[in-house]
Structure 1
Amino acid sequence: MSEKPQNVPQRRYDIDWIRVIAIGLLLIYHISIGFQSWGRMIGFITSPKSLDQLWYAMSLLNIWRIPLLFFVSGMGVYFAMRKRNWMQLIAERAYRILMPYVFGIFAIVPLHILLFSYYYDMTLHYIWSSAHLWFLGNIFSYVLLLSPILFYLKKNETGKLASWIKRSLSKPWGLLIVLAAFVAEVMLVNPLPFEMYAMTWHGFFLGLLAFFFGFCFVMTGAGFWEMIKIWRWLFVVIAMGLYVLRMSQFGKVSPGYLLATESLCWILLVFAFGSIHLNKKSKTLAYLSQAAYPVYILHMVFLYLASVLIFPIPVPTIVQFILVLAFTLAGCFGTYELIRRLKFLRPLFGLKIA
């Protein structure tokens, strides 16, 4: 029987904060798509006038915001495994992820598809789809696929394999192994564009790698966090340098290996600075951490409803953006306040029954 690890990672509030911030960025990114001329081509309701200047910030975000969530999800599974065996973990994730995923496919997504059809004078049909909820399907798949190796590592944290992973990820050269995996994925799959994650093999395999390495980062413990703190400014320089190079030289056709490198550097610097500034418990975090999941599930309905109501109003485009953002947030959080008070609704949105 393996010995229990001596250095058991405690709950990290910075990871909770990063999850909340990542979902907030996702919401703002989706709102911004409504102000891009190409938004309708990927199923978004778009404003008659675009805000092209938003693209610079969107381009910076779109190569790492989704991978970041996959890393965080893998980290969350490590903590969930501390008090659960594999059957309990699968059952818990089915309750918290699979149930909202299936409910959303049939009850949430059809609502914003109807709003899209209404706005563009299309025939109204009930259409079920995973749409933005594809992420949940991927996460549940990763739990099923990776559970054997994750539980092996968790139960044998003093064994040779887990010890080697911990030693490697406590050193900067260990990150080269992580980078090599992501570069290999992008070179083999050759996604065009890189940021097309939804319901693609690229999104699936990149998410699988991020989920696994997120688990390994947390399993490594203090050695990993101290290492990335030391090297955080190098991550900043590389990420910003590659972003400037991408925007000035390559534009929309940057080499995949550069995008994978830039993406990982952004993610590592987020974790590094987050570990310094965000690892603090607070009532605000407790509230937002609970609200984040329902808000993610609901946000497209209120975004599309806001678009239907606000885009026809003859006001400056920036005012439309602010109004859509305010309406979407108010709708999501207002509905969350209702959901968290009704026991029969809580499981459908990933909340435990209080």
Structure 2
Amino acid sequence: MLVNSVIGLQKFVSPWRQVFSKTEISPPRRYELDWLRVLAFGMLIFYHTGMLYSQNWGFHFKSQYLSLNVENAMLLLSPWRMALIWFISGAALRFIVARSSFTHFITSRSILILLPLLAGVWLIVPVQLYAEMSQKSGLNLCFWQFYRAFFDLSHPIFSHYQAGIWPHVDVNHLWYLRSLWQFTLLLVLILPLLHLSKVQALITHLCEQSPLIIFMVLLLPLCALKLSWPSETFRYPMGALFLLYGYLLAWQSGFYSQLKRHWRTFLILFVVGYLLVIIGYHVIWQNPIAQQWKITSMDMLYTAQRLLGVMLMLALAQRFLNHDHPILTKLNSAVFPFYILHQSMIIGLAFWLTPLQLGPVWEPVVIICVTFFGCWLFFEIVRRIDIICPLFGIKPSQQYSAKQRRVVSWIGLLLISPLVLELLT
């Protein structure tokens, strides 16, 4: 009976073992995706600074200098900024799967993603909650008094902030890391299906079609999701779908060739789409009595612009950024620390600069410049201290033996285990 059980288990895991068998020959590294990853996360600093000044969009903290014009500028990025990050994440997973064993993939990705998330929610994010509560709830504590109270999960001052991983300990902008880990687990479950020869042949056949057909095939599932999913939580299934697109298309050279060949067409369509989004935003979305069919039409336009933006960025990167550079590796290493720290720096700076009344020009300029400098300084310091590098997604510079790496992995798994339990329940 035991033998039969073992045989049955082996047959069950066999499809996953084949996926992680390392028999595939990976294509050359896609340097344009590395550049896009750096640029996409860098744009978050500008975008989240803009959120301080947007008149109609909610945020953890608001500047006194609100403007509708800021929203017009942010609508250039808003539809596609996270979709692009999810696509790149999916493409990266395709390359990682090809060179990993199943066990190594699950453990290494969990530690790489969840350890920075754990450090972020306890060490970095609290300043955002402090600024938010000070502005919205009239919190009358200095930051260090607040931070001591933050570690008390039953403290009464947080009674209205109970939607976090642990009551008031929330992810805020780090929701991407939480979702990335969850989506990675879901992706692993369907990997045998994605690697079926018929599925791969179908994807290859699609990438040989015209850009219009490719665009429409990728757009239909997005539109179906938008029509059936509540708007408040749409970013999650949208992210999962773009991650899936990135995984399936990562090795499809025909897809990137088509984009490169037609980048000018994508650019023209994107500009037209942006202008239509601006008009629809003010005429329909900002109109409280707009008819439902108009709102739905605007939703579809915005969804199409989301996909169009991703395809345009991939096309431009394929055309202009498909090359290596000595600084690219360092910039890629800086992405995680920048991402983890940037929003807390933006909100903290806005909170402490408010009394100075710098004005609607100098205040955002100071915030953007200091945030970039502060994040880079933070990265330069952390990357030199091996013991804290994993807390912020940086690969330690020192080479360790296999035994040392196993010990470090077990320590990492132990540290993230409470977070794993929270995210899975």
Q: Residue 250 of structure 1: CA displacement?
A: 4.6
Question: What amino acid maps onto 1:32 in structure 2?
Answer: G
Distance 1:149 1:312, change over 3 A: same
> Match of 1:183?
223
Structure 2 segments unaligned to the other structure (5+ residues) = 1-17, 141-145, 151-167, 286-294, 398-425
Pick the aligned partner of 2:169 from 128, 132, 142: 128
Question: What amino acid maps onto 1:176 in structure 2?
Answer: M
SS in 1 for 2:254: helix
SS in 2 for 1:60: coil
Question: What is the alpha-carbon distance in structure 2 between the residues aligned to residue 51 and residue 17 of structure 1?
Answer: 32
Question: What is the alpha-carbon distance in structure 2 between the residues aligned to residue 87 and residue 149 of structure 1?
Answer: 16
Pick the aligned partner of 1:12 from 30, 40, 54: 30
Q: Residue 60 of structure 1: CA displacement?
A: 1.6
1:232 equivalent to 2:248? Answer: no
Contact 2:259 / 2:312 at 8 angstroms: preserved in 1? yes
> Match of 1:138?
179
> Match of 2:276?
245
Aligned residues between the structures: 339
Question: What is the alpha-carbon distance in structure 2 between the residues aligned to residue 169 and residue 21 of structure 1?
Answer: 26
Question: What is the alpha-carbon distance in structure 1 between the residues aligned to residue 306 and residue 226 of structure 2?
Answer: 12
Question: What amino acid maps onto 1:324 in structure 2?
Answer: I
Contact 1:67 / 1:206 at 8 angstroms: preserved in 2? yes
> Match of 2:91?
75
Question: What is the alpha-carbon distance in structure 2 between the residues aligned to residue 315 and residue 305 of structure 1?
Answer: 15
> Match of 2:143?
none
Pick the aligned partner of 2:316 from 273, 290, 294: 273
1:167 equivalent to 2:205? Answer: yes
Structure 1 segments unaligned to the other structure (5+ residues) = none
Contact 1:9 / 1:218 at 8 angstroms: preserved in 2? no
Instruction: Give TM-score scaled by structure 1 length.
Output: 0.89
Question: What is the alpha-carbon distance in structure 1 between the residues aligned to residue 127 and residue 230 of structure 2?
Answer: 34
Instruction: Give TM-score scaled by structure 2 length.
Output: 0.75
Question: What is the alpha-carbon distance in structure 2 between the residues aligned to residue 112 and residue 304 of structure 1?
Answer: 6
Choose 234-243 or 54-63, whichever is displaced more: 234-243
1:209 equivalent to 2:226? Answer: no
Question: What is the alpha-carbon distance in structure 1 between the residues aligned to residue 280 and residue 339 of structure 2?
Answer: 35
Q: Residue 151 of structure 1: CA displacement?
A: 5.1
Contact 1:169 / 1:175 at 8 angstroms: preserved in 2? no
Percent identical among aligned pairs is 25
Pick the aligned partner of 1:102 from 115, 118, 135: 118
Q: Residue 338 of structure 1: CA displacement?
A: 1.2
1:243-273 superposed Cα distances (whole Å, 9 cap, x missing partner): 2122224533562221111110111010011
Contact 1:166 / 1:219 at 8 angstroms: preserved in 2? no
Question: What is the alpha-carbon distance in structure 1 between the residues aligned to residue 340 and residue 183 of structure 2?
Answer: 19
Question: What is the alpha-carbon distance in structure 1 between the residues aligned to residue 356 and residue 348 of structure 2?
Answer: 14
Question: What is the alpha-carbon distance in structure 2 between the residues aligned to residue 255 and residue 87 of structure 1?
Answer: 45
> Match of 1:63?
79
Q: Residue 65 of structure 1: CA displacement?
A: 0.4
> Match of 2:420?
none
Question: What is the alpha-carbon distance in structure 1 between the residues aligned to residue 82 and residue 41 of structure 2?
Answer: 9
Contact 1:64 / 1:264 at 8 angstroms: preserved in 2? yes
Question: What is the alpha-carbon distance in structure 1 between the residues aligned to residue 281 and residue 337 of structure 2?
Answer: 38
Q: Residue 284 of structure 1: CA displacement?
A: 2.5
Contact 2:193 / 2:199 at 8 angstroms: preserved in 1? no
Question: What is the alpha-carbon distance in structure 2 between the residues aligned to residue 18 and residue 4 of structure 1?
Answer: 28
Question: What is the alpha-carbon distance in structure 1 between the residues aligned to residue 396 and residue 255 of structure 2?
Answer: 35
Question: What is the alpha-carbon distance in structure 2 between the residues aligned to residue 174 and residue 304 of structure 1?
Answer: 40
Contact 2:24 / 2:98 at 8 angstroms: preserved in 1? no
Question: What is the alpha-carbon distance in structure 2 between the residues aligned to residue 112 and residue 336 of structure 1?
Answer: 20
Q: Residue 297 of structure 1: CA displacement?
A: 0.3
Question: What is the alpha-carbon distance in structure 1 between the residues aligned to residue 356 and residue 394 of structure 2?
Answer: 37
Contact 1:51 / 1:318 at 8 angstroms: preserved in 2? no
Question: What is the alpha-carbon distance in structure 1 between the residues aligned to residue 342 and residue 276 of structure 2?
Answer: 33
Question: What is the alpha-carbon distance in structure 2 between the residues aligned to residue 10 and residue 152 of structure 1?
Answer: 24
Question: What is the alpha-carbon distance in structure 2 between the residues aligned to residue 59 and residue 304 of structure 1?
Answer: 21
Q: Residue 108 of structure 1: CA displacement?
A: 1.7
Question: What is the alpha-carbon distance in structure 2 between the residues aligned to residue 300 and residue 241 of structure 1?
Answer: 31
Q: Residue 304 of structure 1: CA displacement?
A: 2.1
Q: Which has the larger radius of gyration?
A: 2
